[in-house]
A and B are shown apart, each in its own frame.
Chain A
Amino acid sequence: MAVFAVYPLLQLAWMSVHDVTQATLNQGGWDFVAWDNFLRGFTAGESPAAIVRTLVVVCIVTVAGMLLGLAVAIALRTKGWWSAALLALMVFVWALPPVVNGSVWKFLLAESGLVNTLLGFIGISPVPFLYDPQWALISVASVAAFAVIPFNALVFRAALMAIPPEIFEAAAVDGATRFQEIRHIMLPAVRGTTLVLFVLTVVYGFRSFDFIYVMTFGGPGTATATLPFLGYLQAFNRYDYGLGSATSFLAVVGVLVLAGVYARTIGKEERS
């Protein structure tokens, strides 16, 4: 496992400080260029722009994924066939390949797709969801959030189900409203889960590329090329493997930082 998982990362670091192109990929003896690949990424303005886009995606995915995931978990506490069916539906959508979800949303968000048709009924002119640089970034991030909400809802649901029913009974006796139940019973109960899930969702948003690949392929221009996707584009579309490795290496460093935060969060949770 170490050979196929750790060694590629070392290789990536090695490639990021060398000049590697299509012609030289399969030969040894690459020219050592030190920080040149990283500098090229920054001076051309591609890396900083990609970092900003990555942060936008992470924010949208995390805020929507956490809040809506919790909202679903709370709404699904009610018994009955509807809650059970909705949960099953959402887990099924989560289990679908990202290419399928991405294709469907590319279709729904098309210029004359379902979403724009519905907006037309209430008198809103078509929105260029995938053709406008800003809208495109919001769109791919929203679909990534759409795909992670079911998972987050499941995790929150498990935490809510661990609350002893007596607590709710006691609250009902005291005449607590639903809002008070959420505020004073459910939110404190999911606190530990929230911390860990928060980091997981940030990581998911950070490394997410499937929907970008399927819906926009980084476009229009490079408007939806987040850091991990930009590295892929540079390597496999422009055949500049050195530059792509440097960009991807930045993404790896970002993940290492997040992993550190995650390990600390888990450590704290297990101690408390």
Chain B
Amino acid sequence: MNTSAGPVAILTKLFFTLLYGVPMVWIVLTSFKRSSDVFDPSAAFVFEPTVQAYTRNLNSNLFDALQQSVSIAVGTTALVLLIAVPAAYALARVAHWSVTLGLVALIVLQMMPQTALVIPLFRHFGQWGLLDSLTGVIIADTALLAPFATLLLRPFFRAVPMSLEESGSLDGAGMFRTFWSIVLPLARNGVLTVGSITFLLAWGEFLYAVSFMLSPGGYPLSALLAQQVSAFGIDWPGLMALAVLTSIPILIVFVSSYRLLRDGLTVGAVK
């Protein structure tokens, strides 16, 4: 097989390495600069590093936001899995016309613009007393991500051979027992993949958080960042430091689940 890189492939790789690498390097570099050095070309790479931007950010607001982010992301991931695992299993196993209908409904829901859903949800949450509460944001994020998670998870359950389940029930295991001790362990990678992606998406979600949290005091990191970047007179080192801090948990999840993401993401997304 022709796997050696030709000049075109090398140029393509070089271009994309710069396109995706430079912004990452630039965030980190800027976060260690003084405000006066930010737009000074002579201080682009050679500058006196300072952690001022980080120390300015490290206050109780940041820890509150971090706590909110963790609660929202963990809560949403748990709730999404609680819904998506049984739903995906049912959609993978039951053969009935209603399954096709369910799949179509999920596809449509997954495509809905979030900006359209936020308006009616805002009104209902106002009525139900869910504004300005973590529960409201978690519920909204779950409704947003559960259809996608279900669709992504379904092929993993379909890949579990039916015969294994049949032998399970022959041995006298009930439906729940069969699912819990035969199907779920075999679909482990799928659950982990979907769990990781849900966590990543919930961590980054900011529109619901900005809209349903009535004061910045309840914002998660993503919403705090969205609020600061659209403000006038941006403190760039501070903002980039905040971006770095927001991205660190993502880096941790990414490093621990990269292989799953790389191979599992493409399974359900296109089919």
Contacts and interface: CB of A to CB of B under 8 A. Distances in A.
A214 B204 CA distance: 13
Interface in B218-271: 222, 225-226, 229-230, 236, 239-240, 243, 246-247, 250-251, 253-254, 258, 261-263, 265-266, 269-271
B116 A5 contact: no
A248 B116 contact: yes
Nearest to A111: B39
B229 A102 contact: yes
A36 to B, nearest CB: 17
A207 B1 contact: no
A150 B250 CA distance: 16
A155 B139 CA distance: 30
A77 B3 contact: yes
Give chain A's interface secondary structure class.
helix
Contact of A97 (B2, B39, B222): B222
Given A6-B109, A75-B12, A97 B123 contact: no
A229 to B, nearest CB: 6
Interface in A101-115: 101-108, 110, 112-114
A97 B115 contact: no
A97 B203 contact: yes
A86 interface: yes
A72 B116 contact: no
A146 interface: yes
A231 B13 contact: no
B16 interface: yes
B185 interface: no
B148 to A, nearest CB: 11
A178 to B, nearest CB: 5
Interface string B190-227: 00000000001001101100010000000000100110
Contact of A82 (B13, B230, B269): B13
B257 to A, nearest CB: 9
Interface string A1-22: 1001111110110010000000
A4 B125 CA distance: 11
A93 B109 contact: no
A99 B113 contact: no
Contacts, number: 252
B177 interface: no
Contact of A154 (B24, B41, B266): B266
Contact of A151 (B4, B21, B112, B265): B265
A252 B107 CA distance: 13
Contact of B115 (A101, A193, A248, A263): A248
A97 B204 contact: yes
B123 A15 contact: yes
B142 A4 contact: yes
B240 A169 contact: no
Contacts of A125: none
A61 interface: no
A255 B108 CA distance: 8
A226 to B, nearest CB: 9
Contacts of A80: 5
B41 to A, nearest CB: 5
Contacts of A228: 113-116
B260 to A, nearest CB: 11
B116 A12 contact: yes
Contacts of B115: 207, 209, 228-229, 231-232, 248, 251
B143 A178 contact: no
Given A100-B225, A104-B243, A231-B119, A9 B112 contact: yes
A143 to B, nearest CB: 10
Contacts of A79: 3
17 contacts: A1-B147, A9-B120, A15-B119, A75-B9, A92-B24, A95-B261, A98-B206, A102-B229, A105-B23, A107-B236, A107-B240, A209-B115, A214-B226, A244-B119, A249-B116, A255-B108, A259-B104
Closest 6 CB pairs of A and B: A97-B204, A248-B116, A11-B120, A4-B143, A75-B12, A228-B113
Interface of A: 1, 4-9, 11-12, 15, 25-26, 71-72, 74-80, 82-83, 86-93, 95-108, 110, 112-114, 117, 146, 150-151, 154-155, 157-158, 165, 168-169, 171-172, 178, 181, 193, 196-197, 200, 203, 206-207, 209-210, 213-214, 217, 228-229, 231-232, 235-236, 241, 244-245, 248-249, 251-252, 255-256, 258-259, 262-263, 266
Interface of B: 1-6, 8-9, 12-13, 16-17, 19-24, 26-27, 30, 39, 41, 44, 83, 87, 104-105, 107-109, 111-124, 126-127, 139-140, 142-143, 146-147, 200, 203-204, 206-207, 211, 222, 225-226, 229-230, 236, 239-240, 243, 246-247, 250-251, 253-254, 258, 261-263, 265-266, 269-271
